[in-house]
Amino acid sequence: MPFIANTDQQRSEMLREIGLSAEDLFADVPADLKCAPPNLPPGLSEQEVGALLRALSERNHTHLTSFLGGGLYDHYIPAAVGELIGRSEFYTAYTPYQPELSQGTLQAIYEFQSCICRLTNMEVSNASLYDGGTALYEAVTMSLRVTGRNRVIVDDTVSPIYRTILRSYTSNLGIELIETHGTEGVAGRAEIIKHMNDSTAAVVVQTPNFFGCIEDFTDLATIAHDRKALLVVSCYPIALGLIKTPGEMGADIVTGEGQSLGLPLSFGGPYLGFMATRMDYVRKMPGRIAGRTLDRLGRDGFVLTLQAREQHIRREKATSNICTNEGLCALTSLVYMSLLGKKGLQRLARLCADKAWYAQQKLLAIPGVRLHFPRHWYFNEFVLELPTHVDRVIRELLNHNISAGFPLVRYYPKMTNALLVAVTEKRTKEEIDFFAHVLENAL
Protein backbone atom coordinates (compact mmCIF):
# COMPACT_ATOMS: atom_id res chain seq x y z
CA MET A 1 0.00 0.00 0.00
CA PRO A 2 1.23 3.56 -0.64
CA PHE A 3 2.37 5.52 2.39
CA ILE A 4 0.06 8.41 3.31
CA ALA A 5 1.51 11.30 5.29
CA ASN A 6 -0.94 12.22 8.04
CA THR A 7 1.12 14.65 10.11
CA ASP A 8 3.34 17.66 9.45
CA GLN A 9 6.33 15.70 10.69
CA GLN A 10 5.68 12.84 8.23
CA ARG A 11 5.26 15.28 5.36
CA SER A 12 8.53 17.01 6.25
CA GLU A 13 10.34 13.66 6.34
CA MET A 14 8.95 12.69 2.91
CA LEU A 15 10.04 16.00 1.36
CA ARG A 16 13.50 15.65 2.88
CA GLU A 17 13.78 12.15 1.45
CA ILE A 18 13.18 13.37 -2.13
CA GLY A 19 15.24 16.51 -1.70
CA LEU A 20 12.43 19.05 -2.06
CA SER A 21 10.72 21.69 0.04
CA ALA A 22 7.01 22.49 0.15
CA GLU A 23 7.71 25.65 -1.86
CA ASP A 24 9.34 23.57 -4.63
CA LEU A 25 6.08 21.68 -5.17
CA PHE A 26 4.31 24.93 -6.09
CA ALA A 27 7.15 26.54 -8.06
CA ASP A 28 5.14 26.49 -11.32
CA VAL A 29 2.26 28.51 -9.85
CA PRO A 30 2.63 32.23 -10.75
CA ALA A 31 3.34 34.46 -7.77
CA ASP A 32 0.21 36.57 -8.32
CA LEU A 33 -1.96 33.46 -7.97
CA LYS A 34 -0.45 32.30 -4.71
CA CYS A 35 -2.13 33.08 -1.43
CA ALA A 36 -1.29 32.59 2.21
CA PRO A 37 -2.24 29.26 3.78
CA PRO A 38 -5.75 29.36 5.26
CA ASN A 39 -5.92 30.12 8.95
CA LEU A 40 -7.97 27.08 9.91
CA PRO A 41 -9.12 26.41 13.48
CA PRO A 42 -8.12 23.20 15.27
CA GLY A 43 -9.87 20.01 14.23
CA LEU A 44 -13.21 18.99 15.76
CA SER A 45 -14.73 15.69 16.72
CA GLU A 46 -17.60 14.20 14.71
CA GLN A 47 -20.09 15.25 17.38
CA GLU A 48 -18.73 18.80 17.43
CA VAL A 49 -18.84 19.04 13.62
CA GLY A 50 -22.46 17.86 13.66
CA ALA A 51 -23.43 20.48 16.21
CA LEU A 52 -21.66 23.23 14.23
CA LEU A 53 -23.36 22.29 10.97
CA ARG A 54 -26.77 22.15 12.64
CA ALA A 55 -26.23 25.63 14.04
CA LEU A 56 -25.23 26.94 10.62
CA SER A 57 -28.21 25.31 8.89
CA GLU A 58 -30.62 26.87 11.37
CA ARG A 59 -29.50 30.30 10.13
CA ASN A 60 -31.14 29.54 6.75
CA HIS A 61 -34.67 30.88 6.29
CA THR A 62 -36.18 27.47 5.60
CA HIS A 63 -39.29 28.40 7.55
CA LEU A 64 -40.35 31.26 5.26
CA THR A 65 -43.82 31.42 3.74
CA SER A 66 -42.93 31.82 0.08
CA PHE A 67 -44.65 34.01 -2.50
CA LEU A 68 -41.63 33.73 -4.82
CA GLY A 69 -41.97 32.59 -8.41
CA GLY A 70 -40.23 33.68 -11.58
CA GLY A 71 -39.84 30.16 -12.97
CA LEU A 72 -39.48 28.00 -9.84
CA TYR A 73 -42.49 27.35 -7.63
CA ASP A 74 -43.35 26.03 -4.18
CA HIS A 75 -45.78 23.23 -5.06
CA TYR A 76 -46.84 20.37 -2.81
CA ILE A 77 -45.13 17.05 -3.55
CA PRO A 78 -47.09 13.93 -2.53
CA ALA A 79 -45.19 11.63 -0.16
CA ALA A 80 -45.59 8.75 -2.61
CA VAL A 81 -43.21 10.49 -5.05
CA GLY A 82 -40.23 10.18 -2.72
CA GLU A 83 -41.13 6.62 -1.73
CA LEU A 84 -41.28 5.42 -5.33
CA ILE A 85 -38.20 7.16 -6.71
CA GLY A 86 -36.23 6.17 -3.60
CA ARG A 87 -36.24 2.52 -4.60
CA SER A 88 -32.71 1.22 -5.12
CA GLU A 89 -33.24 0.22 -8.76
CA PHE A 90 -33.66 3.90 -9.67
CA TYR A 91 -30.45 5.20 -8.09
CA THR A 92 -28.14 4.60 -11.04
CA ALA A 93 -29.94 6.19 -13.99
CA TYR A 94 -27.28 5.41 -16.59
CA THR A 95 -28.17 5.73 -20.26
CA PRO A 96 -29.91 2.45 -21.25
CA TYR A 97 -27.78 1.50 -24.26
CA GLN A 98 -28.53 -2.22 -23.79
CA PRO A 99 -32.31 -2.57 -24.07
CA GLU A 100 -32.33 -6.22 -23.00
CA LEU A 101 -31.05 -5.08 -19.59
CA SER A 102 -32.92 -1.78 -19.32
CA GLN A 103 -36.59 -2.34 -20.09
CA GLY A 104 -37.76 -0.67 -16.86
CA THR A 105 -35.67 2.46 -17.41
CA LEU A 106 -36.62 2.65 -21.08
CA GLN A 107 -40.33 2.27 -20.33
CA ALA A 108 -40.10 5.03 -17.69
CA ILE A 109 -38.46 7.34 -20.26
CA TYR A 110 -41.10 6.43 -22.85
CA GLU A 111 -43.94 7.14 -20.41
CA PHE A 112 -42.34 10.45 -19.41
CA GLN A 113 -42.18 11.46 -23.06
CA SER A 114 -45.82 10.45 -23.51
CA CYS A 115 -46.90 12.61 -20.56
CA ILE A 116 -45.01 15.63 -21.89
CA CYS A 117 -46.62 15.18 -25.33
CA ARG A 118 -50.09 15.06 -23.78
CA LEU A 119 -49.35 18.03 -21.55
CA THR A 120 -48.09 20.25 -24.38
CA ASN A 121 -50.29 18.78 -27.16
CA MET A 122 -47.23 18.04 -29.28
CA GLU A 123 -46.28 14.91 -31.25
CA VAL A 124 -42.92 13.81 -29.86
CA SER A 125 -40.74 14.49 -26.81
CA ASN A 126 -37.22 13.60 -25.77
CA ALA A 127 -35.96 12.17 -22.48
CA SER A 128 -35.39 15.56 -20.82
CA LEU A 129 -32.77 18.25 -20.68
CA TYR A 130 -30.96 19.90 -17.79
CA ASP A 131 -33.30 22.82 -17.01
CA GLY A 132 -35.74 25.22 -18.59
CA GLY A 133 -33.08 27.70 -19.70
CA THR A 134 -30.76 25.27 -21.45
CA ALA A 135 -33.82 23.52 -22.92
CA LEU A 136 -34.73 26.82 -24.56
CA TYR A 137 -31.19 27.17 -25.91
CA GLU A 138 -31.43 23.64 -27.34
CA ALA A 139 -34.70 24.63 -29.03
CA VAL A 140 -32.94 27.62 -30.59
CA THR A 141 -30.08 25.55 -32.01
CA MET A 142 -32.58 22.93 -33.15
CA SER A 143 -34.46 25.63 -35.08
CA LEU A 144 -31.19 26.58 -36.81
CA ARG A 145 -30.70 22.96 -37.89
CA VAL A 146 -34.28 22.69 -39.15
CA THR A 147 -34.32 25.96 -41.13
CA GLY A 148 -30.67 26.46 -42.08
CA ARG A 149 -30.99 30.09 -40.96
CA ASN A 150 -29.19 32.08 -38.26
CA ARG A 151 -31.50 34.85 -36.93
CA VAL A 152 -33.40 34.26 -33.67
CA ILE A 153 -35.88 36.76 -32.21
CA VAL A 154 -36.61 36.54 -28.48
CA ASP A 155 -38.96 38.87 -26.61
CA ASP A 156 -37.98 40.37 -23.25
CA THR A 157 -41.14 38.98 -21.63
CA VAL A 158 -39.25 35.66 -21.75
CA SER A 159 -37.48 34.90 -18.46
CA PRO A 160 -34.41 37.18 -18.15
CA ILE A 161 -32.51 34.20 -16.76
CA TYR A 162 -33.27 32.22 -19.90
CA ARG A 163 -32.30 35.17 -22.09
CA THR A 164 -28.97 35.46 -20.25
CA ILE A 165 -28.37 31.78 -21.01
CA LEU A 166 -29.20 32.35 -24.68
CA ARG A 167 -26.80 35.29 -24.91
CA SER A 168 -24.03 33.33 -23.19
CA TYR A 169 -24.42 30.17 -25.25
CA THR A 170 -24.85 31.86 -28.64
CA SER A 171 -22.32 34.70 -28.40
CA ASN A 172 -19.60 32.79 -30.32
CA LEU A 173 -21.77 30.68 -32.61
CA GLY A 174 -22.52 33.12 -35.41
CA ILE A 175 -26.15 33.37 -34.33
CA GLU A 176 -27.90 36.71 -34.76
CA LEU A 177 -29.86 37.03 -31.52
CA ILE A 178 -32.34 39.91 -31.48
CA GLU A 179 -34.18 40.87 -28.28
CA THR A 180 -37.46 42.72 -28.71
CA HIS A 181 -39.33 44.70 -26.08
CA GLY A 182 -42.69 43.69 -24.67
CA THR A 183 -45.62 46.09 -24.49
CA GLU A 184 -47.70 46.43 -21.30
CA GLY A 185 -46.59 43.06 -20.00
CA VAL A 186 -47.02 41.00 -23.19
CA ALA A 187 -44.83 40.21 -26.19
CA GLY A 188 -44.07 43.11 -28.52
CA ARG A 189 -45.68 41.63 -31.62
CA ALA A 190 -45.15 44.67 -33.84
CA GLU A 191 -41.42 44.75 -33.11
CA ILE A 192 -41.11 40.98 -33.53
CA ILE A 193 -42.79 41.13 -36.94
CA LYS A 194 -40.60 44.08 -37.96
CA HIS A 195 -37.45 42.04 -37.33
CA MET A 196 -38.61 38.95 -39.23
CA ASN A 197 -36.88 38.36 -42.56
CA ASP A 198 -35.64 35.53 -44.76
CA SER A 199 -32.84 34.79 -42.25
CA THR A 200 -35.18 34.25 -39.28
CA ALA A 201 -34.99 30.73 -37.91
CA ALA A 202 -37.21 31.13 -34.85
CA VAL A 203 -39.31 33.44 -32.74
CA VAL A 204 -39.02 32.70 -29.01
CA VAL A 205 -41.85 33.59 -26.63
CA GLN A 206 -43.20 32.42 -23.26
CA THR A 207 -46.61 31.77 -21.70
CA PRO A 208 -47.38 32.50 -18.97
CA ASN A 209 -44.54 34.96 -19.44
CA PHE A 210 -42.12 36.20 -16.77
CA PHE A 211 -44.73 38.68 -15.53
CA GLY A 212 -47.33 35.93 -15.19
CA CYS A 213 -49.41 37.17 -18.14
CA ILE A 214 -51.10 34.53 -20.30
CA GLU A 215 -50.76 34.91 -24.06
CA ASP A 216 -52.23 33.16 -27.09
CA PHE A 217 -49.58 33.02 -29.82
CA THR A 218 -51.75 31.48 -32.55
CA ASP A 219 -51.49 34.64 -34.64
CA LEU A 220 -47.71 34.81 -34.18
CA ALA A 221 -47.37 31.15 -35.19
CA THR A 222 -49.21 31.86 -38.45
CA ILE A 223 -47.02 34.88 -39.21
CA ALA A 224 -43.81 32.96 -38.41
CA HIS A 225 -44.84 30.03 -40.59
CA ASP A 226 -45.62 32.38 -43.46
CA ARG A 227 -41.98 33.51 -43.21
CA LYS A 228 -40.78 29.86 -43.04
CA ALA A 229 -39.65 30.40 -39.43
CA LEU A 230 -40.44 28.30 -36.34
CA LEU A 231 -42.32 29.37 -33.23
CA VAL A 232 -40.61 28.29 -30.01
CA VAL A 233 -42.74 28.53 -26.86
CA SER A 234 -41.44 28.22 -23.31
CA CYS A 235 -44.19 27.31 -20.85
CA TYR A 236 -45.02 26.59 -17.21
CA PRO A 237 -46.30 22.98 -17.17
CA ILE A 238 -48.79 23.35 -14.30
CA ALA A 239 -50.52 26.19 -16.16
CA LEU A 240 -51.20 23.82 -19.08
CA GLY A 241 -53.84 22.14 -16.94
CA LEU A 242 -55.93 25.27 -17.44
CA ILE A 243 -54.78 27.39 -20.40
CA LYS A 244 -54.50 26.81 -24.15
CA THR A 245 -51.56 24.54 -24.93
CA PRO A 246 -48.64 25.55 -27.18
CA GLY A 247 -49.58 22.73 -29.54
CA GLU A 248 -53.05 24.22 -30.00
CA MET A 249 -51.43 27.58 -30.76
CA GLY A 250 -49.35 26.09 -33.58
CA ALA A 251 -45.97 26.03 -31.81
CA ASP A 252 -43.18 24.08 -33.49
CA ILE A 253 -40.97 23.48 -30.43
CA VAL A 254 -42.11 23.63 -26.80
CA THR A 255 -39.79 23.75 -23.80
CA GLY A 256 -40.09 24.45 -20.11
CA GLU A 257 -38.79 23.91 -16.60
CA GLY A 258 -40.07 20.68 -15.04
CA GLN A 259 -39.31 21.62 -11.42
CA SER A 260 -42.99 22.21 -10.70
CA LEU A 261 -43.71 18.58 -11.66
CA GLY A 262 -42.67 17.00 -8.38
CA LEU A 263 -39.15 18.35 -7.87
CA PRO A 264 -38.36 20.27 -4.67
CA LEU A 265 -36.85 23.75 -4.45
CA SER A 266 -33.27 22.74 -3.66
CA PHE A 267 -30.99 25.77 -3.84
CA GLY A 268 -30.78 25.54 -7.63
CA GLY A 269 -31.37 21.93 -8.57
CA PRO A 270 -31.04 19.40 -9.92
CA TYR A 271 -33.95 20.45 -12.09
CA LEU A 272 -35.41 19.22 -15.33
CA GLY A 273 -35.83 20.68 -18.79
CA PHE A 274 -38.41 19.24 -21.14
CA MET A 275 -38.81 19.56 -24.89
CA ALA A 276 -41.51 18.52 -27.33
CA THR A 277 -41.84 19.11 -31.06
CA ARG A 278 -43.54 18.00 -34.25
CA MET A 279 -42.72 14.61 -35.74
CA ASP A 280 -41.31 16.37 -38.83
CA TYR A 281 -38.41 17.65 -36.73
CA VAL A 282 -37.72 14.62 -34.54
CA ARG A 283 -34.35 13.84 -36.09
CA LYS A 284 -33.11 17.33 -35.28
CA MET A 285 -33.97 16.98 -31.59
CA PRO A 286 -31.18 16.57 -28.98
CA GLY A 287 -31.09 14.15 -26.07
CA ARG A 288 -32.38 10.62 -25.80
CA ILE A 289 -35.62 9.38 -27.40
CA ALA A 290 -37.19 6.13 -26.22
CA GLY A 291 -39.59 4.27 -28.51
CA ARG A 292 -41.94 1.30 -28.19
CA THR A 293 -41.63 -1.65 -30.55
CA LEU A 294 -42.33 -5.39 -30.76
CA ASP A 295 -39.84 -8.20 -30.28
CA ARG A 296 -39.78 -11.30 -32.50
CA LEU A 297 -42.44 -12.93 -30.31
CA GLY A 298 -44.77 -9.97 -30.70
CA ARG A 299 -44.27 -8.64 -27.17
CA ASP A 300 -43.97 -4.94 -26.34
CA GLY A 301 -40.41 -3.73 -25.95
CA PHE A 302 -38.69 -0.37 -25.45
CA VAL A 303 -35.52 0.92 -27.11
CA LEU A 304 -33.57 4.11 -27.71
CA THR A 305 -34.54 5.08 -31.23
CA LEU A 306 -33.84 7.45 -34.13
CA GLN A 307 -30.39 8.37 -32.85
CA ALA A 308 -27.05 6.59 -32.91
CA ARG A 309 -24.60 6.98 -30.05
CA GLU A 310 -21.92 8.08 -32.49
CA GLN A 311 -23.92 11.06 -33.81
CA HIS A 312 -22.91 13.06 -30.75
CA ILE A 313 -19.26 13.21 -31.85
CA ARG A 314 -19.90 14.78 -35.28
CA ARG A 315 -18.48 18.19 -34.35
CA GLU A 316 -20.63 21.07 -35.60
CA LYS A 317 -23.25 18.65 -36.97
CA ALA A 318 -23.79 16.98 -33.60
CA THR A 319 -26.76 17.41 -31.34
CA SER A 320 -26.18 17.77 -27.60
CA ASN A 321 -25.39 14.54 -25.80
CA ILE A 322 -27.83 14.78 -22.90
CA CYS A 323 -28.40 11.53 -21.09
CA THR A 324 -27.49 10.13 -17.69
CA ASN A 325 -28.00 12.84 -15.09
CA GLU A 326 -31.64 13.63 -15.89
CA GLY A 327 -33.05 10.10 -15.73
CA LEU A 328 -34.03 10.27 -12.07
CA CYS A 329 -35.49 13.79 -12.38
CA ALA A 330 -37.57 12.68 -15.38
CA LEU A 331 -38.77 9.65 -13.43
CA THR A 332 -39.73 11.92 -10.52
CA SER A 333 -41.88 14.06 -12.80
CA LEU A 334 -43.43 10.96 -14.37
CA VAL A 335 -44.44 9.64 -10.94
CA TYR A 336 -45.86 13.05 -10.00
CA MET A 337 -47.88 13.39 -13.22
CA SER A 338 -49.13 9.81 -12.91
CA LEU A 339 -50.30 10.38 -9.34
CA LEU A 340 -52.21 13.53 -10.31
CA GLY A 341 -53.60 12.35 -13.61
CA LYS A 342 -55.42 14.57 -16.08
CA LYS A 343 -58.22 15.60 -13.70
CA GLY A 344 -55.82 16.16 -10.82
CA LEU A 345 -53.62 18.45 -12.90
CA GLN A 346 -56.66 20.44 -13.98
CA ARG A 347 -57.83 20.79 -10.37
CA LEU A 348 -54.33 21.81 -9.27
CA ALA A 349 -54.12 24.49 -11.97
CA ARG A 350 -57.56 25.82 -11.05
CA LEU A 351 -56.60 25.92 -7.36
CA CYS A 352 -53.42 27.91 -8.11
CA ALA A 353 -55.35 30.38 -10.27
CA ASP A 354 -58.15 30.80 -7.72
CA LYS A 355 -55.77 31.39 -4.81
CA ALA A 356 -53.78 33.88 -6.88
CA TRP A 357 -57.02 35.76 -7.63
CA TYR A 358 -57.90 35.84 -3.93
CA ALA A 359 -54.42 37.07 -3.02
CA GLN A 360 -54.58 39.75 -5.68
CA GLN A 361 -57.89 41.10 -4.36
CA LYS A 362 -56.56 41.20 -0.78
CA LEU A 363 -53.36 42.97 -1.81
CA LEU A 364 -55.08 45.48 -4.10
CA ALA A 365 -57.27 46.53 -1.18
CA ILE A 366 -54.16 48.04 0.45
CA PRO A 367 -53.98 51.82 -0.17
CA GLY A 368 -51.35 52.72 -2.76
CA VAL A 369 -51.03 49.18 -4.20
CA ARG A 370 -52.12 48.58 -7.79
CA LEU A 371 -51.60 46.14 -10.63
CA HIS A 372 -48.64 46.97 -12.86
CA PHE A 373 -50.24 45.26 -15.89
CA PRO A 374 -54.00 45.52 -15.29
CA ARG A 375 -55.15 44.72 -18.82
CA HIS A 376 -54.05 41.08 -19.09
CA TRP A 377 -55.05 37.70 -17.74
CA TYR A 378 -52.59 35.86 -15.50
CA PHE A 379 -52.28 32.34 -14.11
CA ASN A 380 -50.85 32.22 -10.58
CA GLU A 381 -48.41 35.11 -10.78
CA PHE A 382 -48.92 38.85 -11.11
CA VAL A 383 -47.00 42.12 -10.79
CA LEU A 384 -47.87 44.63 -8.08
CA GLU A 385 -46.86 48.28 -8.23
CA LEU A 386 -46.03 49.47 -4.70
CA PRO A 387 -45.90 53.10 -3.54
CA THR A 388 -42.26 52.67 -2.46
CA HIS A 389 -39.10 50.83 -3.50
CA VAL A 390 -39.61 47.07 -3.19
CA ASP A 391 -36.28 46.24 -1.50
CA ARG A 392 -37.27 47.95 1.74
CA VAL A 393 -40.63 46.17 1.77
CA ILE A 394 -39.04 42.77 1.10
CA ARG A 395 -36.59 43.24 3.98
CA GLU A 396 -39.41 44.24 6.32
CA LEU A 397 -41.54 41.20 5.43
CA LEU A 398 -38.60 38.85 5.95
CA ASN A 399 -38.74 39.90 9.61
CA HIS A 400 -42.20 38.30 9.64
CA ASN A 401 -40.98 35.11 7.93
CA ILE A 402 -42.56 36.02 4.60
CA SER A 403 -40.72 35.88 1.30
CA ALA A 404 -42.85 38.55 -0.35
CA GLY A 405 -42.01 38.04 -4.00
CA PHE A 406 -39.42 38.88 -6.61
CA PRO A 407 -38.17 42.48 -7.13
CA LEU A 408 -38.34 42.99 -10.89
CA VAL A 409 -35.92 45.93 -10.76
CA ARG A 410 -33.11 43.36 -10.71
CA TYR A 411 -33.78 42.57 -14.37
CA TYR A 412 -35.95 45.50 -15.49
CA PRO A 413 -34.27 48.70 -14.19
CA LYS A 414 -37.29 50.93 -14.77
CA MET A 415 -39.56 48.76 -12.61
CA THR A 416 -38.20 50.03 -9.28
CA ASN A 417 -41.45 49.54 -7.36
CA ALA A 418 -42.66 46.36 -9.07
CA LEU A 419 -43.06 43.13 -7.09
CA LEU A 420 -43.72 39.78 -8.80
CA VAL A 421 -45.97 37.70 -6.52
CA ALA A 422 -46.64 33.98 -7.04
CA VAL A 423 -49.31 31.92 -5.28
CA THR A 424 -49.47 28.12 -5.43
CA GLU A 425 -51.86 25.59 -3.97
CA LYS A 426 -49.72 25.44 -0.82
CA ARG A 427 -50.59 28.95 0.29
CA THR A 428 -53.51 28.97 2.71
CA LYS A 429 -56.13 31.66 3.18
CA GLU A 430 -54.56 32.47 6.56
CA GLU A 431 -51.10 32.87 5.02
CA ILE A 432 -52.43 35.14 2.27
CA ASP A 433 -54.38 37.24 4.78
CA PHE A 434 -51.30 37.56 7.01
CA PHE A 435 -49.18 38.55 3.98
CA ALA A 436 -51.65 41.33 3.15
CA HIS A 437 -51.77 42.48 6.79
CA VAL A 438 -47.98 42.67 7.14
CA LEU A 439 -47.56 44.32 3.73
CA GLU A 440 -50.09 47.03 4.64
CA ASN A 441 -48.22 47.74 7.88
CA ALA A 442 -44.89 47.82 6.04
CA LEU A 443 -46.23 50.42 3.61
Q: Which among 284, 318, 336 is the end of a domain?
A: 336
Q: Is 14 a domain residue?
A: no
Mean pLDDT in residue range 12-41: 86
Q: Which among 308, 336, 364 is the end of a domain?
A: 336
Q: Is 252 a domain residue?
A: yes
Q: Return the closest-CA partner of residue 364 out of 414, 419, 409.
A: 419
CB atoms within 10 A of CB 273: 28
**Looking at the structure, do residues 308 and 362 belong to the same domain, yes or no?**
no
Q: Is 23 a domain residue?
A: no
Q: What is the pLDDT at residue 258?
A: 96
Q: Is 4 a domain residue?
A: no
More confident residue, 26 or 158: 158
Residue 413: band (very low, low, confident or very high) from pLDDT cuts 50, 70, 90: very high
Measured CA angle at 140 (ends 167, 405), to 5 deg = 60
Measured CA angle at 196 (ends 192, 202), to 5 deg = 85
Q: What confidence tens digit (pLDDT) does each residue in 253-282 have?
A: 999 999 999 999 987 788 999 999 999 999
Using the predicted structure, report yes or no on whether residue 139 has a pLDDT greater than 80: yes
Using the predicted structure, report yes or no on whether residue 2 has a pLDDT greater than 80: no
Q: Is 59 a domain residue?
A: no
Q: What confidence tens digit (pLDDT) does each residue in 285-324 have?
A: 988 889 999 988 999 999 988 876 666 666 777 777 776 6
More confident residue, 53 or 89: 53
**Looking at the structure, do residues 158 and 131 belong to the same domain, yes or no?**
yes
**Looking at the structure, do residues 234 and 356 belong to the same domain, yes or no?**
no
More confident residue, 95 or 239: 239
**Looking at the structure, do residues 248 and 203 belong to the same domain, yes or no?**
yes
Q: Return the closest-CA partner of residue 262 out of 67, 134, 65, 74.
A: 74
Q: Is 123 a domain residue?
A: yes
Cα 224 off chain centre by: 26
Non-local CB neighbours of 385 within 8 Å, separated by 6+ positions: 369, 370, 371, 372, 417, 418
CB atoms within 10 A of CB 186: 19
Q: How many helices (H) and strands (E) does the chain have?
A: 13, 15
CA atoms 24, 27, 31, 37: torsion sign: negative
**Looking at the structure, do residues 277 and 347 belong to the same domain, yes or no?**
no
Average pLDDT, the chain: 91
Using the predicted structure, report yes or no on whether residue 411 has a pLDDT greater than 90: yes
**Looking at the structure, do residues 181 and 229 belong to the same domain, yes or no?**
yes
Using the predicted structure, report yes or no on whether residue 26 has a pLDDT greater than 90: no
**Looking at the structure, do residues 356 and 436 belong to the same domain, yes or no?**
yes
Domain count, the chain: 2
Q: What is the pLDDT at residue 5?
A: 53
Residue 207: band (very low, low, confident or very high) from pLDDT cuts 50, 70, 90: very high
Mean pLDDT in residue range 119-131: 93
Mean pLDDT in residue range 94-98: 74
User: Which segment of 20-34, 70-84, 219-233 scores lowest on mean pLDDT?
Assistant: 20-34
Q: Is 31 a domain residue?
A: no
**Looking at the structure, do residues 175 and 265 belong to the same domain, yes or no?**
yes
More confident residue, 21 or 277: 277
Distance CA 213, CA 381 (A): 8
**Looking at the structure, do residues 152 and 183 belong to the same domain, yes or no?**
yes
Using DSSP's 3-state secondary structure scheme, residue 276 falls into strand
User: Which segment of 62-71, 186-195, 248-257 scores lowest on mean pLDDT?
Assistant: 62-71
The CATH number of whichever domain residue 390 belongs to comes to: 3.90.1150.10
Q: Which among 276, 307, 336 is the end of a domain?
A: 336
**Looking at the structure, do residues 290 and 366 belong to the same domain, yes or no?**
no
Non-local CB neighbours of 232 within 8 Å, separated by 6+ positions: 136, 139, 140, 143, 202, 203, 204, 205, 251, 252, 253, 254, 255
Q: What is the pLDDT at residue 360?
A: 97
Distance CA 365, CA 384 (A): 12
The CATH number of whichever domain residue 258 belongs to comes to: 3.40.640.10
Using the predicted structure, report yes or no on whether residue 222 has a pLDDT greater than 80: yes
Q: Is 238 a domain residue?
A: yes
**Looking at the structure, do residues 375 and 301 belong to the same domain, yes or no?**
no
Residue 1: band (very low, low, confident or very high) from pLDDT cuts 50, 70, 90: very low
Q: What range defines the domain where residue 169 resides?
A: 79-336
**Looking at the structure, do residues 409 and 282 belong to the same domain, yes or no?**
no
